[in-house]
Amino acid sequence: MIRPRAMIFDLDGTLVETNLDFDAMRAEIGLRPSLPILEQLEGADAVLRARAEEIMRRHERAGIAGARLLDGCAELLARLEVLGVPAAILTRNVRDAVDDFVARFGFRFAAVYTREDGPPKPSAAGAVALCAALGVAPADVLAVGDYKYDIIAGRDAGCRTALVCGVEAPPVDLDDWGRPDLVVRSLRELLPLWAAAD
């Protein structure tokens, strides 16, 4: 793969492990089990939406407070900073959770897009907006995440994509998403993309 000129990262499950309990969040909000929370809230009345946002925000911020960096995260972000490769975050979380993450671990990102900024993943809107903010054509950006929404959003924006699957085998329905350009077990496996730049 040609070395990306910029990178877009998902947050939870990609940069950090927060152990968010989505089933507990759904139960507390009063939603059906197993289905994505944000999609269930589409068309909800203002009262339910406000209550759900308060519950999600509390869980997301608590998750960041107890988060641990995933393998290769610190090394990859440090390499990008040294080389002047801009990095951005595209998340379905709230901005407060991203701000807490940045403050806790001391990272810097050139741009951030959360669900408060516009349509959430799997919409490509966030990836498109971030590419524009970074000043880099989507084809020169690598979008990295651990879930199908990350891959779909990046691909539909015109970015190359990388799925971080951890110790698990790649999902059996990977082809249904639109196969990512790369499948890696950790962010550490992306470091060789910049090996020749040292």
Percent of the chain with pLDDT over 70: 97
Closest of 123, 159, 122, 125 to residue 142, by C-alpha = 159
Query: pLDDT-based confidence at 1, cuts 50/70/90?
Result: low
On whether both 161 and 72 belong to a single domain, the answer is yes
Across residues 1-27, what is the average pLDDT? 92
Is residue 78 domain-shared with residue 152, that is, in the same domain? yes
How many angstroms separate the CA atoms of 67 and 65, rounded?
6
Which helix (H) or strand (E) segment holds residue 151: the answer is helix 148-157
- Is 121's pLDDT higher than 90? yes
Domain that holds residue 48: 22-65
Q: Is the pLDDT of residue 196 over 70?
A: no
Within this chain, do residues 33 and 98 fall inside the same structural domain, yes or no?
Answer: no
Q: What is the mean pLDDT of the chain?
A: 92
Contact at 8 Å (CB) between 187 and 72? yes
User: What pLDDT does 174 receive?
Assistant: 75
Same domain, 84 and 176: yes
- The verdict on residue 1 lying in a domain is no
**Do residues 45 and 135 share a domain?**
no
What is the number of domains present in the chain? 2
**Could you report the per-residue pLDDT of 161-193, keeping only the tens digit for each?**
999 998 776 776 777 777 899 999 999 999 999
The pTM score is 0.92
**What is the tens place of the pLDDT at every residue in 64-114?**
999 999 999 999 999 999 999 999 999 999 999 999 999 999 999 999 999
Name the more confident of 43 and 156.
156
Q: Is residue 93 part of a domain?
A: yes
DSSP 68-82: EEPTTHHHHHHHHHH
Q: Is residue 34 assigned to a domain?
A: yes
Give the bridge partners for 17, in sequence order: 68
